[in-house]
Structure formats: C-alpha cells, structure tokens
C-alpha cells in the first residue's frame, strides 16, 4: 500500500482549496510578522519605562525629570510626564498673565483636574500605540479556523463527488479527504499562535496600564510636594 503524497495532493487540489490554503498561509505570515514586531516593541517599551521610572524615583527635580522624559522617547511613562509637565507650565503661564501667580492657591481651589486630564490624554495616546495591530491577532485567531473549515467542507464535497462518479474505493476519496484535513490543520496552525500571543500581549499591556496609572499618582504626589515646599519657603 503506497503512502499518500500530501504535497502532490495539494498541488492537484481544486482552485477553491488552493485559494483557501493560500489565504491561510498569508494570514499565518501576517500573524507571525505582527507577533515579532509587537514582541520587540513591548520589550523596548518595558525597558524604557523601567529606566525612566528609576530616574524619576531617584530625582526630585522636575526639570531634570522632564529632560530625561524628552530624551526617553520610547517610554509611555515619559509621555504621560511630558503631558502633565506641559499642562503645569501652561497653568503657571496663565496665572502669571492674570497676575495670580500663587500656584499653591490655584491647585488648592481647583484641584489637579487639569493635570489629570492632560496625563489621561498621554495615557490614551500610549494605549493607542500599544494596541496597534494587536486586535488583528484576535481577528486572525477568530476567522482562520472557519476559513480552514470551509476548505475542509469543500474537500469533503470533492471526495463525495468521486463516489458519485462510481469510484467506490478508498483511493477515489482519499485525495479529497486528505486535502480537507490539511485545510483544517493549516487553519488551526494559523489560529493557535495568533490567539496565544494576543492573550500574552493583552496581559502585558494591562500590566503596563496599571504601572502607568500608578506613575500618574506618583507624578501628582511629586507636584504636590514641590508646591508645598515652595509655599513653606
């Protein structure tokens, strides 16, 4: 009994099954490209955040921290800091123009809502960057099994067509069954890595979000301490 040559079966398969397999192959290539790019991006981002957060905790000078944030372009925390720092400077400028240069009194009266909104804008911008293309992994993981299933159904239809034409032996239906099962396997091979890495990246982004929220509170605490020191002097 001779073994089946899978490559020959795929080569001899119909146009529909070949189209399905090509679509699954392209989906898999796209998936692994996104996985590799996002892995490198999040690795660089995490390292940049650790570096900036370490500098932030060691320094009490807002100016020095802003300089570090300007140089550390890859950090999402530096983006949040810059947004808050810019809003703080705008507030000081407006108070000086209005002849009300008491920053401590302004924040005591109005709170830190303006800084919080500015940092929230930075938080949202950072999330947009981190989420970019991740949703495509979820899409690939969701649709490729169904595309493979379509190829499976079509291959089985071809197999039964062989039976209907009088070919009752296993040799008559084997090619159609084989190409059907291969379509299923390739569909799963494209979907499984996409789903796994989508969940991994999503969890990593959630951790970074939690760290950014904590950093926002630390930044507000630094501003409050700085204002209190200037008030007491």
What are the sequence ranges of the domains in the chain? 15-44+76-232
Taking the C-alpha atoms of residue 1 and residue 4, their distance in angstroms, rounded to an integer, is 9
- Of 227, 149, 197, 229, nearest to 35 by C-alpha is 197
What pLDDT, in 10s, does the model give residues 119-162?
999 899 889 889 888 999 999 999 999 988 888 887 777 777 76
Query: In this structure, is the dihedral angle defined by the CA atoms of residues 88, 90, 94 and 97, taken in order, positive or negative?
Result: positive
Helix boundaries (H) for 59-133? 62-71, 76-97, 103-110, 113-131
3-state secondary structure of 202: helix
Q: Which of 196, 143, 204, 151 is nearest to 177 (CA)?
A: 151
pLDDT digits (tens, 9 = 90+) for 53-94: 999 988 878 888 989 999 988 999 999 999 988 888 888 888
């Amino acid at each position: 009994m001779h073994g089946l040559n899978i490559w020959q079966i795929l080569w001899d398969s119909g146009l529909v099954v070949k189209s399905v397999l090509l679509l699954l192959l392209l989906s898999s290539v796209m998936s692994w490209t996104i996985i590799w790019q996002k892995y490198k991006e999040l690795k660089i981002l995490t390292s940049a955040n650790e570096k900036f957060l370490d500098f932030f905790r060691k320094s009490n000078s807002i100016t020095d921290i802003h300089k570090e944030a300007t140089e550390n372009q890859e950090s999402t925390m530096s983006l949040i800091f810059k947004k808050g720092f810019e809003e703080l400077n705008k507030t000081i400028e407006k108070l000086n123009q209005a002849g009300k240069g008491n920053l401590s009194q302004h924040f005591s009266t109005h709170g830190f809502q303006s800084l919080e909104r500015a940092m929230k804008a930075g938080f949202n911008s950072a999330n947009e960057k981190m989420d970019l293309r991740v949703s495509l992994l979820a899409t690939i993981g969701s649709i490729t099994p169904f595309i493979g299933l379509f190829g499976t159904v079509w291959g089985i239809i071809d197999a039964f067509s062989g039976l209907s034409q009088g070919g009752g032996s296993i040799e008559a239906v084997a090619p159609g069954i084989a190409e059907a099962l291969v379509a299923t396997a390739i569909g799963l091979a494209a979907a499984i890595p996409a789903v796994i890495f989508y969940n991994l990246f999503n969890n990593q982004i959630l951790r970074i979000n939690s760290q950014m929220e904590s950093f926002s509170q630390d930044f507000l605490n630094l501003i409050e301490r700085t204002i209190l020191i200037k008030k007491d002097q």
